[in-house]
Structure 1
């Protein structure tokens, strides 16, 4: 049943494409010349039909040939009929052999599929030349115009038109590959951002696990020290057991995360400019999605390849999102990166609302936040900047912040290159 539905669906698509391409071909076929001062016509539509047959599989070549031929002859005849004001049947019949050309082109296209010959440009070129020459010979035989000089012109025309068709085919393929490459780069960039966020969460989870381990040890130590005090020692042992269970759960989650990202396509190194380019694209899409009139600029003073680029992704993402949340309409965010004395310096500055001076000492504390949802009143988790601080501690880096409620905020990150 499903196969029948698929077949019906494909048939509809092929018919639709066939009719559409037939109309396009017949329109281009109206650009033509009369060689030999005769009724024989050489048109551009031949270039188009050959190109269509070479690049498209979801068509019926015979239907395209018949429909394009009838439409071409009809439009040419009607055009001449109207322009000459001569209402003679001979005018319509004059273009009837043109329909024969396209009909036979459709027949040849059905028997010898050009879309299956396009893997070799030479085979495609020869097939197109043969199609062109054969169909033109059939047309001039119908017109009773066969001669050696006419045959020479037909062959030369076939060679030229096939060259144009193959050139168009190569350009089309190049564009298709370029689009595919761009889409791959976009997916790769999004994958890098996703994995960087997973790594950041895993890092924080690992730190929480280490903290839980310390809590478990301290609680068990209290239990050992206070065995004589039954109520106190029981509670201490319960805390140690709970901490142990939570740690085991965290370990399972961490193993799952590590297994998840283990086989992800990753580059061993990435340059700062590549990191900035990926984050620039994603940030601009984020700003567009929230319909904010915020401008963001990225600048790399001097480039450098680093191995722990996921950490830089996580640091920049958190700092930039904070900057966006601090900005209003027509505010600007500047992100710069440079290498100075074997240290990576990254700054994220904005001219948004800024942070009050008495709050600054607490912004890196876990759970601390001044942001909340205006609709629900729920506070932000307050772990973004804590993430940044933990990552920088692991990288032996430092972060400085300068803020003014009138001029905005600037975060400056310094990381030794040896840590990256």
Structure 2
């Protein structure tokens, strides 16, 4: 049953990913088709050098998950149909445009295939290599279109035309690289500004929390005094000594407890004010939350010596101002999954996000040791833990899942479910109403 659930979930996620890629390819093809209407004629009639081919590689670079060959074919169809449609609107017929614009489709198909072959989707391209690849893609795609449009043997002078094609290819490749670099620097600038603002807030928060910690340390001394007096009173009562002092000691203990309670109330209100006011900064997109989470979890796994694969899949990229709560939930679930995986083994943790009409649903799946049937009923209890480091004797605090349940159910009005099979793995699923988690979804 558990394996069937995992298999079904994987199939759904793969189908969702395919659908998302199709949407991206259609979007890229539509943008390229619109941009292709900005062009100049060169060499022969209807041989157009368009802005669309500058946008095409830029979008392929940005949407790295899409298939370049398939997107090139789709872009060719979109460009071809749009050119014929515009020609028909301007001239009243379309038959003369059918043959005239058809060779241009070979350019986009060839470009997409060459880009696909030369640019490995799993490698991080340096700008120099990307530039060379773009020049080659552009030059040979133009050459193929020109050959289809008019026999190469009829073109004179060949070397001069080839030189012009190479010049055009270099120029457009430079333009593409310039746009990509500009987009990168713009994104870095925005991220830097956001990080600086968050860092300033974090420093201010820490300074205020430090003040509250001084009060907590002071109260620790008071608690020690209360414990000492209470134990002293217990000794006197047990031995029935100094009966006259029992009442006075009891009153002093009650006064001290009252003072501790009062000061902890002040501390709580101070921390609550910090959280409500100082953390009231702009929210985050799910994609940014996932990136931070993935980087930090991989770092933590390396530090603890865990050999594992961490996968993240998301169906949407909603914006939320509950990013602190969501980050805390997901981090604790992933840490819990990491602790369930043998550090010497090759574990796998998969995070998935999907949405229904009313809820955002998150799941964290691991192939760890699983949870026994008798333990599942207690996993959300504070202090309960099945994780023991037998080398050091240290026991996990067991607060993670208790905290997750508290945040999910009481702060976000959601629910948490678990499906686990001992020796095979565990799936935690968290469902949170959209109108609570998302901004502007009422």
TM range (shorter): 0.5 to 0.7
Residue from 202, 209, 216 that aligns with 2:213: 202
Contact 1:222 1:236 in 2 (8 A): no
Task: Say if 1:97 and 1:235 are closer, same or farther in 2 by CA, change over 3 A.
Answer: same
Superposition deviation, residue 88 in structure 1: 5.5
Instruction: Please give the TM-score of this superposition, normalised by the length of structure 1.
Output: 0.52
User: Would you say 1:139 and 2:139 are equivalent positions?
Assistant: no
On the 8 A contact 1:61/1:110 being kept in 2, the answer is yes
Map of 1:32 onto structure 2? 39
**Deviation sequence 1:32-90 (CA, Å, 0-9, x none):** 111125221111100001111222212122222111111112222222233233x3623
Give 2:190's match in structure 1, choosing from 179, 182, 185: 179
**Aligned counterpart, 2:63:** 56
From 80, 89, 92, the equivalent of 1:73 is 80
Q: 1:127 aligns with which of 133, 152, 162?
A: 133
CA distance in 2, matches of 1:7, 1:246: 59
Task: Tell me, in whole angstroms, the C-alpha distance in 1 between the residues paired with 2:89 and 2:230.
Answer: 100
Distance of 1:7 and 1:231 partners within structure 2: 77
Q: Tell me which residue corresponds to 1:233.
A: 245
SS at match of 2:109: helix
The 1-side partners of 2:23 and 2:75 are apart by: 14
Q: Do the aligned residues in 2 keep the contact of 1:66 with 1:106 (CA within 8 Å)?
A: yes
Task: Tell me the secondary structure at the aligned position of residue 173 of structure 1.
Answer: helix
Counterpart in 1 of 2:166?
155
User: 1-side partners of 2:251 and 2:278: how far apart?
Assistant: 43
Q: 1:184 to 1:23 in 2, by over 3 A?
A: same
Whole-angstrom CA distance in 1 between matches of 2:83 and 2:120: 27
TM-score normalised by L of structure 2: 0.50
**1:11 Cα shift?**
1.0
Give the Cα–Cα distance (whole angstroms) in 2 for the partners of residues 221 and 67 of structure 1: 85
Deviation string 1:263-294 (CA, Å, 9 cap, x unpaired) is: xxxxxxxxxxxxxxxx9xx66958x99xxxxx
5+ residue gaps, structure 2, are: 1-6, 153-157, 265-273, 284-442
Note the alpha carbon deviations across 1:363-398, whole angstroms, 9 max, x for none.
Answer: xxxxxxxxxxxxxxxxxxxxxxxxxxxxxxxxxxxx
2:113 aligned to which of 104, 107, 132? 107
Q: Which has the greater radius of gyration?
A: 1
Question: How many residues align structurally?
Answer: 257
The answer to whether structure 1 residue 170 and structure 2 residue 177 are counterparts is no
Question: By how many angstroms is 1:97 displaced?
Answer: 0.8
Contact map agreement 1:128 1:162 (CA 8 A) in 2 = yes
Please say if residues 108 and 131 of structure 1, whose CA atoms lie closer than 8 Å, have aligned partners that are also in contact: yes
Confirm or deny: 8 A CA contact 1:223 1:237 kept in the other structure.
no
Question: Contact conserved, 2:222 with 2:260, CA < 8 A, in 1?
Answer: no
In the TM superposition, what whole-angstrom CA distance separates every residue of 1:300-319 from its partner, at most 9, and x where no partner exists? xxxxxxxxxxxxxxxxxxxx
Q: 1:78 aligns to what SS in structure 2? A: helix
Q: 1:234 to 1:128 in 2, by over 3 A?
A: same
Deviation at 1:185, TM superposition (A): 3.0
Q: Is the 8 A contact 2:229 2:253 kept in 1?
A: no
109 and 148 in structure 1: CA distance in 2 versus 1, 3 angstrom threshold? same
Structure 2: how far apart are the matches of 1:217 and 1:247?
16
After superposition, residues 6-405 of structure 1 pair within 5 angstroms as 6-85=13-92, 87=93, 89-113=95-119, 119-146=125-152, 147-211=158-222, 230-238=242-250
